[in-house]
Amino acid sequence: MPDHHELATEHLQRVLAGLAGPGASPRGDQVDAVAALLAPAARVLVVQATGWGKSAVYWAATSALRARGAGPTLVVSPLLALMRDQVTAAERAGLAAATVNSTNLDDWDDVFRALDADELDVLLVSPERLGNARFAARLDQLVARIGLVVVDEAHCISDWGFDFRPDYQRLARTLLATPQAAVLATTATANARVTADVAHQLGPDTVTYRGTLARTSLRLSVVPGLSPLERYAWVADALDHLPGSGIVYVLTVAEAERLAGFLRECGHEVAAYTGQLDADARLDVEHRLRHDLVKAVVATSALGMGYDKPDLGFCLHVGSPATPVAYYQQVGRAGRALDHADAVLLGSSSDERIWEYFATASIPDPRDAERVLGVLGGGPRSLVDLESATGIRRGRLEALLKILAVDGVVAKDGSAWAATGTPYEHDHEKWNALTATRRAEADLMRRYAHGQGCLMAFLQTALDDPSPAPCGRCSVCTGEVPAPGARPSDERLLAARRYLRGADLPIEPRKLWPSGVSRKGRIHGTAEGRAVAFADDPAWADELVALQRTGYGTVPPELLDGAVEVLRRWKHVWPERPVAVVPAPAHSVEARANLALATHLAQVGKLPLVELFAWQGGEPPTDTSSAPVVQHLERAVRVLDPSPLAHGEIVSGPVLLCSTTMRTGWTIALCSALLAESTGRTAMPLVVHRLP
């Protein structure tokens, strides 16, 4: 085996000069990794901290391989933001790079022509491209020519990784089978189990380079014991003091939008970033953060792996990720080119409900798999048809289909799904162990959030770092947290309550009946509604706990007053004032709460109360697709005497339809349709607690 270190050093020095300036010098283990990739059909895994220079390894390997006449490098990246940054970095390293993804469809032909002409050194793709027929048709030809495959953020191909993605694993398996190309997998967030799993997928001759994961530039802190409202106020105070710009991570889209709105109200220049933004909006927010045009971006995990701003000054978490690995990955965005950056976690007991959801959300249910395969036994079916026929919720069904596709049990047939004939064998031992592992990781995160030991050493231990040690910088080691300290100012706390309780929470009406129910087409009779509180609303945290304790059978007085305030604000956007109040029907004790809510609003608004609906039968099904829910509601909800509204006893106009809770919106939709059919009136929904 020839010694490739001289060639590796030459190309690594050239690449680093382009990336970091002429004074940059390679690390010894970077040279080792590049040299290893120059061996025939090499398999290399690099697990190193963010900022170590993993991308320099694959750009240098690409440069060396291309100089020796090899084909282009194919880089598989899980996030669009990461690919955009990598194209720029590759060009700075002296390489011709392009990307094929869902946002540049018009450029694909030009990219493919450049590949055919051998004008590209690097092609970057997302894992979802394998499901695109246009790309998949060229994959075999591309795999035959490439000189290096890079699987970036490789923890995503492991079932045990915190961010496992079936699409990514499926594409990786296809590419890893290439007999002639070298393969490099890289990640900064893999414990020993994930590292072993990825190495196993690469093959028995995999060479692994793993270094310490300690980050000397990061000062980690935890501020336990804050209420949800106090966390908002703390962030607003902290942005007055923290230098530079940074990211504020939250767990949900709703939280990102709420917190960003409050911080803007406090005078901070911030933007929200979630998976619901379109590609152009994401690019704009990334650009504004990279060039310090905002103080902070309030983001979900959509802004995570690979986002490159070396001088990011801080990373705050309002809510804790479910695992130390996920947390380490996100705080790793900060302080890459700084001597000091702050990473502060503001945990809460309410985070744990979200952890439990993510611990089980991606675990396949064998009964669901049987139902899907039973339906597909009759031939290919569209996703909509499968949802209707199986009763499995859309999100869970899509996740299941991806897992079945990885196992070769189903495959895409045009726009439909088809069974391949391969039976599904549910690995109970594997999935049970994975669930147990995720719950154990959540327990580790709980202990971290309470500051039970040096924070950096805690993360190192959780990631199986070979040399964990107390850092001497974190809030546990020093006993100090960044300003504003253990508690926010009273002024900002009052401002947070005032802003959040005054926030507008629209309810968009359902527009179409689901497939498989007796009603067809558009839904008529409902207007845009309003909610008092949404999900784990920090403005109403105590009141929502009290409401939930009663099983949604009694609405606390503060929430009744909140409903009145919503109506007072809402009148500015009403097309016309409601002329009556109708309680929505419900199963069990919630019917009593709906009546109490409607009665209170009727009294305050001096409007007639009309008990139009009744409920018969049991509770509607949960954790299912829309069709079974609507079918149950059609049997359960009946109209009582509509004459006060139908025969002119009450003046013409819309009706306020009141409900204590709303999750799917189908009860509101059906009642609105029944109201329109029996009385000709439009419903204006008002909900106390809109559930996620």
So what's the pLDDT on residue 321? 86
Residue type, 121: D
327-331, 375-379, 525-529, 544-548 — which is least confidently predicted?
A: 327-331
Instruction: Provide φ and ψ at 452, rounded to 5°.
Output: -90, 65
CATH of the domain at 455: 3.40.50.300
Question: Which one-letter amino acid corresponds to residue 612?
Answer: L
Residues 6+ apart with CB under 8 A from 480: none
Burial of 549 (0-12, 13-18, 19+ CB in 10 A): exposed
State which of 210, 230, 253 marks the end of a domain.
210
Last residue of a domain, one of 474, 500, 526: 500
Whether residue 360 lies inside any domain: the answer is no
Burial of 423 (0-12, 13-18, 19+ CB in 10 A): exposed
In this structure, what DSSP letter does residue 584 have?
A: P
**Does one domain contain both 269 and 170?**
no
Cβ contacts of residue 254 below 8 Å, gap of 6+? 534, 535, 692
| Nearest 10 degrees: Cα torsion 348, 487, 293, 125 | -20
Is pLDDT above 90 for 499? Answer: yes
Residues 94 and 55 in one domain: yes
Q: Are 472 and 607 part of one and the same domain?
A: no
pLDDT at position 1:
44
Mean pLDDT of 310-337: 87
Categorize the per-residue pLDDT at 304 as very low, low, confident or very high, splitting at 50, 70 and 90. low
**DSSP 8-state class, residue 650:** S
The answer to whether residues 118 and 93 touch, using CB atoms and an 8 Å cutoff, is no
Cα 542 to Cα 350, 498, 547, 559, 567: the distances in Å are 12, 15, 9, 10, 22
Comparing CA positions, the residue from 85, 78, 327 lying closest to residue 185 is 78
CA distance 178 to 42: 11
Is residue 586 assigned to a domain? yes
- The DSSP code for 523 is -
Assign 3-class secondary structure to 475-521. Answer: HHHHCCCCCCCCCCCHHHHHHHHHHHHCCCCEECCCCECCCCCCCCC
Nearest to 124 by CA among 92, 142, 150: 150
Please give the C-alpha separations between residue 545 and each of 258, 402, 497, 595, 610, in angstroms, as whole numbers: 20, 37, 17, 20, 30
Q: What is the mean pLDDT of residues 304-317?
A: 83
pLDDT in tens, 373-400: 999 999 999 998 999 899 898 888 998 9
User: Are both 408 and 464 inside the same structural domain?
Assistant: no
SS3 at position 189: coil
Pairing of strands 207-210, 43-47: parallel
pLDDT at residue 314, rounded to an integer: 96
- pLDDT-derived band of residue 353, with 50, 70 and 90 as boundaries? confident
Q: How far is 629 from 622, CA to CA, in rounded Å?
A: 8
Q: Is the predicted pLDDT of residue 81 greater than 70, yes or no?
A: no
| pLDDT score, position 603 | 97
CB 165 within 8 A of CB 132: no
The average pLDDT across 358-385 equals 89
Residues 491 and 527 in one domain: no
Do 667 and 532 sit in the same domain of this protein? Answer: yes
Kindly state whether residues 18 and 105 are assigned to the same domain: yes
* Cα–Cα distance for residue pair 572/608, rounded to 1 Å: 21
Return the pLDDT at 309: 85
- Contact criterion met (CB below 8 Å) for 451 and 473: no
What domain range is 394 assigned to? 365-425
Calculated CA dihedral for residues 336, 219, 160, 369, nearest 10 degrees? -100
Residues 535 and 642 in one domain: yes
Number of domains within the chain: 4
Give the range among 120-134, 320-334, 385-399 with minimum mean pLDDT.
120-134
- Answer yes or no: is pLDDT of 175 > 80: no
Residues in the chain: 692
Distance CA 141, CA 312 (A): 41
Which residues lie closer than 8 Å to 315 by C-beta, 6 or more apart? 246, 247, 248, 249, 330, 331, 333, 334, 341, 342, 343, 344
Closest of 245, 438, 217, 234 to residue 318, by C-alpha: 234
Interval 650-687: pLDDT, tens: 999 999 999 999 999 999 999 999 999 999 999 999 99
CA–CA separation, 450 and 477 (whole Å): 13
Helix intervals (H) in 509-615: 541-549, 557-570, 590-605
Greater confidence (315 vs 462) lies with 315
Would you say 288 and 271 are in contact if contact means Cβ atoms under 8 Å apart?
yes
Give the closest residue to 474 by CA, choosing from 460, 486, 457.
Answer: 457
- E runs forming strands in 138-295: 148-151, 182-187, 207-210, 218-222, 246-250, 270-273
| pLDDT exceeds 70 at position 169 | yes
What are the residues whose beta carbons fall under 8 Å from the beta carbon of 279, sequence distance 6 or more? 80, 102, 103
Q: Does one domain contain both 135 and 206?
A: yes
Residue 2 has pLDDT above 70, yes or no: no
Residues 181 and 302 in one domain: no
- Domain contains 582: yes
Query: Cα–Cα distance between 227 and 668 in angstroms, integer?
Result: 32
CATH number of the domain at 660, please.
3.40.50.2020
Residue 443 backbone phi and psi in degrees, to 5: -65, -40
pLDDT score recorded for residue 131 = 62
Of 132-146, 186-200, 491-505, 562-576, give the lowest mean pLDDT range. Answer: 132-146
Is 319 in the same domain as 181?
no
Indicate whether 530 and 583 sit together in one domain: yes
Average pLDDT over residues 245-265: 94
Q: Is residue 430 part of a domain?
A: no
Angle at 79 between CA 73 and CA 85, to 5 degrees: 65
Q: Is the pLDDT of residue 291 over 90?
A: yes
What pLDDT score does 409 carry?
95
CATH number where 420 lies: 1.10.10.10
pLDDT at 681: 95
Tell me, yes or no, whether 679 lies in a domain: yes
Give the predicted TM-score (pTM) of the model. Answer: 0.82
Token code pair at residue 610: 């009309």
- In this predicted structure, the answer to whether residue 347 has a pLDDT above a threshold of 90 is no
The pLDDT, as a whole number, for residue 163 is: 74
Report pLDDT digits (tens) over 16-45: 999 888 888 888 899 999 999 999 889 999
Element (H, E) at 661: strand 655-662
User: In the listed set 177, 210, 243, which residue is the last one of a domain according to the structure?
Assistant: 210
How big is the CA angle at 325 (ends 235 and 356), to the nearest 5 degrees? 80
Task: Please compute the mean of the pLDDT values over residues 547-557 and round it to a whole number.
Answer: 95
* Mean pLDDT in residue range 542-563: 95
Q: Are 509 and 523 in contact (CB under 8 A)?
A: yes
Return the axis-axis angle of helices 28-37 and 54-67, rounded to nearest 10°. Answer: 40
Q: What is the pLDDT of residues 436-481, one digit of tens each?
A: 888 888 888 888 998 989 999 888 888 888 778 899 999 999 999 9
